[in-house]
Amino acid sequence: MTDPVLIVNDLSVTYTVGAGTFYAVSDVSLEIEPGRVIGIVGETGCGKSTLAKAIPRLLPEPPATIGSGSIVFRGTDLVKVGRRQLPMIRGTGIGMIFQEPLNSLNPAFRVYDQLLEAIQIRHYREMGWVKSFQGGERPFDYSKPPDTTTVAGSLSKIIVPSGAAEEAVRDRLATRSQFREEVLSYLRLVRINDPETILNLYPHELSGGMRQRIMIAMALSEKPSLLIADEPTSALDVTIQAQVLTLMKELIDEVQAAILFISHDLGVIAETADEIGVMYAGRIVEYGPVAEVFRDPRHPYTKALLKAAPAHYKSDGPLSSIPGSVPNLSRPPSGCRFHPRCALARDVCKGDTPPLAPVDPAAPPESRHIHRSACYFQSEVPGLP
């Protein structure tokens, strides 16, 4: 297997608000390889969005503090990177699609200018004009011809159908028309039918779904090696949501980037991700390949989440909900944070935090990709009906 693009080790993020401290993310570990999609799912307030923003160091510090842990992106620990170096990592290194397409585009600039800016950032970094991540090293090695025998290689061809600006990279600066051609090609990539017209519009003249497509195009046009999608469809109407999700799914197959997909919607994660991490009160409580986790959840919280999902509505009668309430993260419960709401909880759950242990006792405990659950009594979790 290829080396992971991103390794998150025991990451903890806290917010200091007045006198209180909120433990938004606690001891989260992740690994993402190129081409893999990892889904993070959880209720509002479980820290998944904080996690997504902490990786590219987008959280305002203060009030946020990265308390401990490391975020190793392609060999560099982002926690230790200085404020001035951060922009070099963003865009071409880590791209991000946000939840709020309505406000994520700058209302004062045309679609064209905003896409052009992203492409130019990448282009200048490739040219070595602007110092980029890791002392001018190119985010991707474009000097080699794409290897069409691998999935990744063939995909890089699909990404830029015209390849106009990319051609120019090898010897000289791209011309205006080459930039324009590339902007158009990215609009086509996100299935925009009439890119020539869209180019000259301002964001307020576009629908929410359209804006989100442009946001996706903008993020992809910088060819990030890690793409973080923070609830990209949650703010859209249901029908538009389905369209954008379909697009995302198609693009995921085309992009070679590692993808971290954040959502509160189990269905969305089930459709898009390879692996899933379930977050509760700032911790990952269960992790594993999507199919396994959905078929056989080994954590009482995951079980409850799956039961609460509308898919089980008919068979279960009334929609079930989880008793109790989400804990206040300024005073998280001791031990397992789910114990106050857990039917299986015993005294040991109140004492120590259960480790994220492999479900299969025979599996190597250090592997990050196998099905694991942070429950002392994971074997007692009843199966789904």
Partner 1 sequence: MATATSSAPVRRGDHPIVVFWRVLRANPLSLFGFLLVALICIVALIVAVAPHVLVPYGPEQETGLFNAPPSWAHPFGTDGLSFDVYSNVMRALPLDLGLGVGIAGVSLVIGGALGLIAGFYDTPGTLGGYTSVSIMRVTDVFLSFPSLILALAITRVLGPGILNVAIAVIITWWPYYVRLVRGEVLAVKHLPYVTAARAAGVTENRILLRHVLRNVTEPLVVYFTLDIGTVLVTYSTIAYIGVASKYPGPQPEWGAMLAFYQGSAPISSYPWLVLAPGLAVFVTVIAFSLLGDGLRDILDPRTRRAFVRGAAPEPPAERPTPDAPAAEAESDRGEVPVVAPDPGAVA
Partner 2 sequence: MGRSPGDLLIFVLKRLLQLIPVLIGVIVLTFICTHLKLSGLCNAVYPHASKAVIDACNAKYGAPLLPQFVSYITNLLQGNWGASTLGQAVYPAIAADLPATIELVLAALFLMIVIGIPLGVIAAQYGGRWADHLVRIFYLSGWATPTYLGAVLAAVFIGPALGLPTRGEYSTVVPPFPQYTHMSVVDAIIAGNFPYTVDAIEHLILPASVLAFINMGIATRMTRASMLEVLPLDFVRSARMKGLSEFWVMYKHALRNALITTTTVLGVTAGGLLAGTVVIEEVFDWPGIGQYAYDAIGGGGSVANFDGAIAVVIVFAIGVVVANMIADILYGVLDPRVDWR
Residue closer to partner 1 (CB basis): 49 or 221? 49
One-character DSSP codes across 242-301: HHHHHHHHHHHHH--SEEEEEES-HHHHHHH-SEEEEEETTEEEEEEEHHHHHHS--SHH
In the complex, least distance from residue 89 CB atom to partner 2, rounded to whole angstroms? 8
Residue closer to partner 1 (CB basis): 249 or 331? 331
Instruction: Name residues contacting partner 1, limited to 10-39 (CB under 8 A).
Output: 15-18, 22, 24
Member of 92, 156, 185, 233 binding partner 2 (CB under 8 A):
92
Q: Name the token pair of 108.
A: 């004062």
Contacts of 77 (CB under 8 A, 6+ apart): 70, 71
Q: Coil, strand or helix: which one is 112?
A: helix
Contacts of 317 (CB under 8 A, 6+ apart): none
Member of 9, 29, 33, 43 binding partner 1 (CB under 8 A):
43
Stretch that binds partner 2, among 96-104, 241-249, 261-269, 340-348 (CB under 8 A): 96-104
Number of residues in the chain: 385
In the complex, least distance from residue 47 CB atom to partner 1, rounded to whole angstroms? 7
Contacts with partner 1 by CB under 8 A: the residue count is 23
List beta partners, residue 314: none
- Residue 310, preceding bond cis, omega within 30 degrees? no
Member of 108, 325, 366, 383 binding partner 1 (CB under 8 A):
325
Residue 179: contacted member of partner 1, partner 2, none (CB under 5 to 8 Å, by partner type)? none
Residue 16: contacted member of partner 1, partner 2, none (CB under 5 to 8 Å, by partner type)? partner 1
Window 207-246: contact mask with partner 1 (x via CB under 8 A):
----------------------------------------
Residue 159 burial (C-beta neighbours within 10 Å; 0-12, 13-18, 19+): buried
Window 207-246: contact mask with partner 2 (x via CB under 8 A):
--------x--xx--x------------------------
CA-to-CA distance for 385 and 367, rounded, in angstroms? 30
In the complex, least distance from residue 170 CB atom to partner 2, rounded to whole angstroms? 22
Residue closer to partner 1 (CB basis): 134 or 320? 320
Q: CA dist 228 to 28, 70, 75, 89, 188, Å? A: 16, 17, 18, 13, 21
CA-to-CA distance for 333 and 222, rounded, in angstroms? 42
Residue closer to partner 2 (CB basis): 132 or 373? 132
One-character DSSP codes across 211-250: HHHHHHHHHHHT--SEEEEESTTTTS-HHHHHHHHHHHHH
Which residues contact partner 2 by CB under 8 A?
Answer: 56, 58, 83-84, 87-96, 98, 100, 103-110, 117-118, 121, 125, 202, 204-205, 215, 218-219, 222
Which residues contact partner 1 by CB under 8 A?
Answer: 15-18, 22, 24, 43-47, 49-50, 60, 62-64, 324-329
